[in-house]
Amino acid sequence: MRSVASSRIVGSIGAFDRWNSAGIAAQRPAFVASGWNRRRIMGASQSSRDSSGGPSVSAEGAEFKSVSDTEWKEKLTDEQFYVTRQKGTERAFSGKYWNTKTAGIYECICCGTPLFNSITKFDSGTGWPSYYEVIGNNVKSESDWSIPFMPRTEVKCSKCDAHLGHVFDDGPPPTGKRYCINSASLNLKPSG
């Protein structure tokens, strides 16, 4: 059994011997957009507010900065809240999508923003879903000094600031990037 430490070492070296193939049987997504999330996806007006008491949203994007921890806890599981709102990390090889080959789009679990296309997913050997490219400008990055001797680059959803994971410069062509993402921050919307 591989330890988390050895997984990080393998990942940092760049073990890219197994690549993603076209999707296998489609899986039903575990997360279905709730009222306020669905409105954000569909671009409801700024003044709209659904019956669940979710935040107002606009076509340009949601005002997620005003969403309280209490509201997030109502919308997310404990693990999703820990990962996305408290910058947690799920254990390697434990997440729902680390070994998934289903074709589709991976969305932010918090706001539904499309983040990664399954055709950019690859097996990095780290135990976390890894992608070499993001969709548009939907992911932003910031320096992460939470481990002083190991600076990293954190990646977040550009719409709601959900913590997704980290990006490294040891990925495959054409980008050379490895977006190492927590499954708990994602929802797979299968294609087809």
Same domain, 92 and 15: yes
In angstroms, rounded to a whole number, what is the distance separating the alpha carbons of residues 33 and 60? 18
Average pLDDT, the chain: 75
In angstroms, rounded to a whole number, what is the distance separating the alpha carbons of residues 65 and 77? 19
Residue 71 lies in a domain: no
Residue 155 lies in a domain: yes
pLDDT of residue 49: 34
Top pLDDT among 116 and 144 is at 116
Same domain, 46 and 85: no
In angstroms, rounded to a whole number, what is the distance separating the alpha carbons of residues 82 and 163? 9
- The pair of structure tokens assigned to 131 is 């992608």
| 86 within 8 A of 110, measured Cβ to Cβ | no
Looking at the 3D structure of the chain, how many domains does it have?
2
pLDDT of residue 175: 97
Residue 123 lies in a domain: yes
Same domain, 61 and 111: no
- For the cut 60, the answer to whether the pLDDT of residue 48 exceeds it is no
- For the cut 70, the answer to whether the pLDDT of residue 32 exceeds it is no
Same domain, 21 and 39: no
Residue 70 lies in a domain: no
Question: Per mean pLDDT, which of 15-24, 43-52, 119-128 is the most reliable?
Answer: 119-128
pLDDT of residue 149: 87
pLDDT of residue 94: 96
In 95-121, which positions are buried (b, 16+ CB within 10 angstroms) versus exposed (e)? bbbbebebbbbbbbbbbbbbbbbbbbb
Residue 177 lies in a domain: yes
Residue 73 lies in a domain: no
In angstroms, rounded to a whole number, what is the distance separating the alpha carbons of residues 92 and 9? 12
- For the cut 70, the answer to whether the pLDDT of residue 131 exceeds it is yes
Same domain, 55 and 121: no
For residues 145-164, give the mean pLDDT: 93
Top pLDDT among 39 and 141 is at 141
Band of pLDDT at residue 147, cut at 50, 70 and 90? confident
Q: Which residues pair with 167 in a beta bridge?
A: 153, 179
pLDDT of residue 148: 87
Q: CATH number of the domain that 25 lies in? A: 2.170.150.20
Q: What is the pLDDT of residues 74-83, one digit of tens each?
A: 999 999 999 9
**Residue closest to 104 by CA, chosen among 18, 25, 183, 19:** 25
Handedness of CA 140, 182, 41, 72 (dihedral sign): negative
The residues, any chain, with a CB within 8 Å of residue 16's CB and separated by 6 or more, are: 122, 123, 124, 125, 171, 172
Active site members: 180
Q: What is the extent of the structural domain holding 48?
A: 35-65
**Residue closest to 41 by CA, chosen among 140, 134, 117, 107:** 107
Same domain, 60 and 22: no
Residue 146 lies in a domain: yes
Residue 54 lies in a domain: yes
Same domain, 39 and 129: no
For residues 115-125, give the mean pLDDT: 97
| 189 within 8 A of 136, measured Cβ to Cβ | no
Same domain, 174 and 83: yes
**Residue closest to 52 by CA, chosen among 74, 28, 85, 31:** 74
